[in-house]
Chains A and B, each alone.
Chain A
Amino acid sequence: MDLAYSKEDEAFRKTVRTWLKANVPKKDKTLSDLPPNDPRRIQRAKDWQRRLYEAGYVALGWPKAYGGQGDSDIMRQTIVNEELVLARAPGLIGASGLTMLGPTLLQVGSEEQKQRYLPKVLTAEEIWCQGYSEPGSGSDLASLRTRAELVGDAFIVNGQKVWTSGAQFSDRMFCLVRTDPDAPKHRGISYILIDMKTPGVTVRPLVQMTGDAGFNEVFFEDVRVPRENLVGELNQGWLVANATLFHERNMLGSTTRTQLMMQNLIRLARSHSRYGQPVAEDPSIRQQLADLTTRVEAMKYHSLRQLTAATKGRKPGIGAMVNKLVGTELNHDICALALEIMNSYAPLNRRASHVIDNGIWPYEFMFTLGLIIGGGTSQIQKNIISERGLGMPKSR
């Protein structure tokens, strides 16, 4: 055990940090007043990903043949991810393509698919969204009913997807469809790629409790998808999707962000008063803050342990199965304590006078609850941990 980073890694971190300092886009007031889906904001987000890509800091592990850096050093990838958070850099608009579609295509995609799609995922020339959940298929994802009938050399798709993040500005969707309605539910699903501009695709925004419209409903009416857009084998889409789901869970468990949130929470507690007393002097708040600290530290070292296992080529084991469950609940609990600290000021919206920290806490309090549900609810995570991790039998 040695927590010191190698000289090379330290030097790399410094280079990344310096680059980010010079290149992370400054907050632009005129833009941040625009609605989140305004084309100018989308363009700016694409420009940022492109710049980061050109500097060599996007998806380092992808092979050079598809536009990647061909750098399999997990440590450097982690350093970039950490520094992005520490630099308060904007999230990447192409995240779904980078973290979910890309790894899936690299694993099971055809050579043509990799060449055609991967380079543009990196440069944000093409933005992808995920078409999994349906109104009738949430936790029971495998029951999905969006139908794709193979007619000649094309699928004809009919049905509906929901909770589709970013569909309103996405160019393409990786989508689960039912190709064999007579097979057992897990064996009649295929994984296909849909051009969002195809006739018959309709996107309708879905407003979240935060007031933002990040999600959408997506309707398909006789949408024609070329057969070559099938990823993996016909009716094997569930296996293909499970690879993607694994990547999604990994994505949701960043501890650098959690550490930053915890620092901000302590700062908040030290600067705010409540009931005639500085909040940080309230014994019950102190206990809660320190308890959260122990949980944040646990996840910090838990992720270092997994990082080490990954660099040594070891299987992550049951430890990695708890990431999504523990990480999302921890983030939400941090926000919940922030609200308790802010008390009467907690519900103030971003534009209200006297608002604290630009209203980020109530926003995150709601948003992080969404993350406890999205990508497999906490209850589904517990099923996975107990069934796959502990070998406890299925409920039925």
Chain B
Amino acid sequence: MDFGLSEEQDLLQQSAREFLTQECPPQFVRALLDDEHGFSPELHRKMAELGWPGLLVPEKFGGLGLGLLDMALLLEEMGRAVVPGPFLFSSALATFALMRGGSSAQKKTWLPRLASGDAIGTLAFLEASDRLDAAGITLKARKKRDGYTLSGTKMFVPFAAVADILVVAVRTSGKSEKGVSLVLVERDAPGLTIRPLDMFDRTRRVYEVRFKQVPVSGFLGKAGKGWKLLAQLQDLACVALSADSLGGAQQALDMAVEYTKVREQFNRPIASFQALKHMAAEMVSEVEPARSLVWYAAYAFDTRAKDASRAASIAKARLSAVYTRTTNKAVQMHGGIGFTWEHDMHFWFKRAKWNEFAFGAAAYHRERVARFDGY
């Protein structure tokens, strides 16, 4: 029994923290808030030099061949540094979709490019209905003489503007899980238009993607059989976002504690007031055990444990709530300055809210846990 990180994993996490402290400090994040795409190709290139985009990709396709637990440690650090950009959606979600669903030709085409950072992918999943189940997938894929075309709209597609390839959940038949397919669409395909949806978390960017007779570049797996992989991608997203949330919560906690040590009122550091100490202790008492949930969910995913989906939901339910509560308290511990645009705390506060709702909020995942547990 060993529920701990290996030396390599400790090292990976530590070096990621050092790299991001250097390369993605808050003033760098702040500058990207005003960037058109919320994305720094330069930072992306530097991360690629470390092999990060290829972390999950098998070595024969130019990756590191590591697992979700390793990825979770990296994402925790990226959450801590509230790194803007498509990394999670490209290097975890789209990449995994290709790894699991792609034909050998598709893998050969895309995995080396994704792993090297030359290409960026994303997942187009949600529609206007905001449903997470199979019935929410209504974007039609119609068979034409020379292949399939898509017509319809996807919503809240992360970083569509900088993606080269979209993994799109579409409907090839019926209304249930059967008939859901995952297809690859190139971003510059004819008939595809994107429109940014401006939102309060400027470290993430989402888009409305409209399809008008857009040619499909290929299916991931068989037509009509995409739901299983899509469900697995949702589990993956839950673990990945939970890891991001964990790092963000830890950072908000650390910043709040540091601030209260230097901020003086009533002739003493406000960190000496129990009202604030107890807030900080409550944050610790939620964040520390939550760390173990993220580790377990990632481990369960990697080992294809029977309870992998349950573990993903548990992590997402818990971290959704914990990140939001932690950043909320962190803002309060900063007092008025924490409410300003000038202070950095709102980066994490807003990221927490985005992470909370993406891929199912806490209540959604609790209901899922209830069903897994037979009630």
Chain B binds chain A: yes
Within residues 1 to 43 of chain A, which ones have a CB less than 8 A from any CB in chain B? 1-6, 9
Whether the pair A293, B369 counts as a contact (CB closer than 8 A) is yes
Once A286-B375, A385-B285, A395-B274 are accepted as A-B contacts, the answer to whether A291 and B317 lie under 8 Å apart by CB is yes
> At the interface, yes or no: B341 with Cβ under 8 Å from chain A?
no
Whether the pair A294, B366 counts as a contact (CB closer than 8 A) is yes
CB distance from B283 to the nearest CB of A (A): 9
Which of B53-61, B154-162, B167-175, B293-301 forms part of the interface with chain A?
B293-301
Contacts of A307 in B (CB 8 A): 1, 3
> At the interface, yes or no: A394 with Cβ under 8 Å from chain B?
yes
A396 CA / B6 CA spacing, docked (Å): 42
Classify the interface of chain A: helix, strand, loop or mixed.
helix
> At the interface, yes or no: B363 with Cβ under 8 Å from chain A?
yes
Whether the pair A392, B261 counts as a contact (CB closer than 8 A) is yes
Please tell me which one of the listed residues A2, A294, A393, A395 contacts residue B314 in the complex, with CB atoms under 8 A apart.
A294
> At the interface, yes or no: A345 with Cβ under 8 Å from chain B?
no
- Give how many B residues have a beta carbon under 8 Å from the other chain's beta carbons: 47
Contacts of B280 in A (CB 8 A): 385-386, 390, 392
Contacts of A392 in B (CB 8 A): 257, 260-261, 271-272, 276-277, 280
> At the interface, yes or no: B367 with Cβ under 8 Å from chain A?
yes
* B367 to chain A: closest residue by CB: A286
> At the interface, yes or no: A322 with Cβ under 8 Å from chain B?
yes
Which of A47-55, A147-155, A171-179, A298-306 forms part of the interface with chain B?
A298-306
CB distance from B208 to the nearest CB of A (A): 32
Once A301-B3, A393-B271 are accepted as A-B contacts, the answer to whether A270 and B284 lie under 8 Å apart by CB is no
Most buried by A among B274, B281, B362, B374: B281
* A384 to chain B: closest residue by CB: B281
> At the interface, yes or no: B18 with Cβ under 8 Å from chain A?
no
A385 CA / B5 CA spacing, docked (Å): 24
Whether the pair A297, B278 counts as a contact (CB closer than 8 A) is no
B242-280 toward A: CB 8 Å interface, digit per residue (1/0)?
A: 000000000000000100110000001101111011101
A4 CA / B6 CA spacing, docked (Å): 16
> At the interface, yes or no: A227 with Cβ under 8 Å from chain B?
no
**Residues of A in contact with B, size category:** 35 or more
Whether the pair B369, A4 counts as a contact (CB closer than 8 A) is no
Which of A215-223, A234-242, A351-359, A375-383 forms part of the interface with chain B?
A375-383
Whether the pair B288, A319 counts as a contact (CB closer than 8 A) is yes
Please tell me which one of the listed residues B269, B282, B295, B366 contacts residue A290 in the complex, with CB atoms under 8 A apart.
B366
Contacts of B4 in A (CB 8 A): 1, 305, 308-309, 312
Please tell me which one of the listed residues A4, A266, A287, A299 contacts residue B363 in the complex, with CB atoms under 8 A apart.
A287
> At the interface, yes or no: B373 with Cβ under 8 Å from chain A?
yes
Please tell me which one of the listed residues B271, B289, B292, B370 contacts residue A289 in the complex, with CB atoms under 8 A apart.
B370
Please tell me which one of the listed residues A3, A270, A299, A308 contacts residue B375 in the complex, with CB atoms under 8 A apart.
A270
CB distance from A316 to the nearest CB of B (A): 11
Whether the pair A305, B295 counts as a contact (CB closer than 8 A) is yes
> At the interface, yes or no: B98 with Cβ under 8 Å from chain A?
no
> At the interface, yes or no: B342 with Cβ under 8 Å from chain A?
no
Whether the pair A293, B273 counts as a contact (CB closer than 8 A) is no
> At the interface, yes or no: A189 with Cβ under 8 Å from chain B?
no
CB distance from A256 to the nearest CB of B (A): 14
> At the interface, yes or no: B123 with Cβ under 8 Å from chain A?
no
Within residues 244 to 286 of chain A, which ones have a CB less than 8 A from any CB in chain B? 266, 269-270, 280, 283, 286
Most buried by B among A280, A286, A379, A383: A286
> At the interface, yes or no: B308 with Cβ under 8 Å from chain A?
no
Within residues 333 to 375 of chain B, which ones have a CB less than 8 A from any CB in chain A? 362-363, 365-367, 369-370, 373-375
Please tell me which one of the listed residues B1, B292, B363 contacts residue A2 in the complex, with CB atoms under 8 A apart.
B1
Whether the pair A6, B281 counts as a contact (CB closer than 8 A) is no
Contacts of B276 in A (CB 8 A): 392
Once A280-B375, A382-B282 are accepted as A-B contacts, the answer to whether A5 and B293 lie under 8 Å apart by CB is no
CB distance from A290 to the nearest CB of B (A): 4
> At the interface, yes or no: A326 with Cβ under 8 Å from chain B?
yes
Once A5-B1, A266-B373, A322-B289 are accepted as A-B contacts, the answer to whether A395 and B282 lie under 8 Å apart by CB is no
> At the interface, yes or no: A183 with Cβ under 8 Å from chain B?
no
Please tell me which one of the listed residues A5, A270, A286, A393 contacts residue B366 in the complex, with CB atoms under 8 A apart.
A286
Whether the pair B292, A302 counts as a contact (CB closer than 8 A) is yes
* B285 to chain A: closest residue by CB: A322
CB distance from B373 to the nearest CB of A (A): 6
Contacts of A395 in B (CB 8 A): 272-274, 277
A326 CA / B317 CA spacing, docked (Å): 18
CB distance from A396 to the nearest CB of B (A): 8
> At the interface, yes or no: B318 with Cβ under 8 Å from chain A?
yes
Contacts of A382 in B (CB 8 A): 274, 277-278, 281-282
CB distance from B272 to the nearest CB of A (A): 4
B157-198 toward A: CB 8 Å interface, digit per residue (1/0)?
A: 000000000000000000000000000000000000000000
Contacts of A283 in B (CB 8 A): 367
> At the interface, yes or no: B69 with Cβ under 8 Å from chain A?
yes
CB distance from B79 to the nearest CB of A (A): 18
CB distance from A267 to the nearest CB of B (A): 10
Whether the pair B1, A299 counts as a contact (CB closer than 8 A) is no
Please tell me which one of the listed residues A2, A291, A387 contacts residue B2 in the complex, with CB atoms under 8 A apart.
A2
A226 CA / B277 CA spacing, docked (Å): 43
Once A297-B314, A298-B318 are accepted as A-B contacts, the answer to whether A308 and B1 lie under 8 Å apart by CB is yes
* A309 to chain B: closest residue by CB: B4
> At the interface, yes or no: B93 with Cβ under 8 Å from chain A?
no
A264 CA / B373 CA spacing, docked (Å): 13
Most buried by A among B1, B276, B277: B1
Once A3-B3, A287-B363, A304-B1 are accepted as A-B contacts, the answer to whether A298 and B317 lie under 8 Å apart by CB is no
Q: List 10 A-B contacts (CB under 8 A).
A: A1-B69, A266-B374, A286-B370, A287-B363, A290-B370, A297-B293, A302-B288, A319-B289, A390-B257, A394-B272
Task: Add 18 more A-B contacts to A305-B4, A390-B277, A395-B273 (CB < 8 A).
Answer: A1-B295, A2-B2, A5-B1, A9-B1, A286-B367, A287-B366, A290-B370, A291-B362, A294-B293, A297-B311, A299-B289, A304-B1, A386-B278, A386-B280, A386-B281, A389-B281, A390-B257, A392-B277
Query: Chain B: residues with CB nearer than 8 A to chain A?
Result: 1-6, 69, 257, 260-261, 268-269, 271-274, 276-278, 280-282, 284-285, 288-293, 295-296, 299, 311, 314, 317-318, 362-363, 365-367, 369-370, 373-375
The 7 closest A-B pairs by CB, nearest first: A301-B292, A290-B366, A382-B281, A386-B277, A298-B289, A385-B281, A304-B3
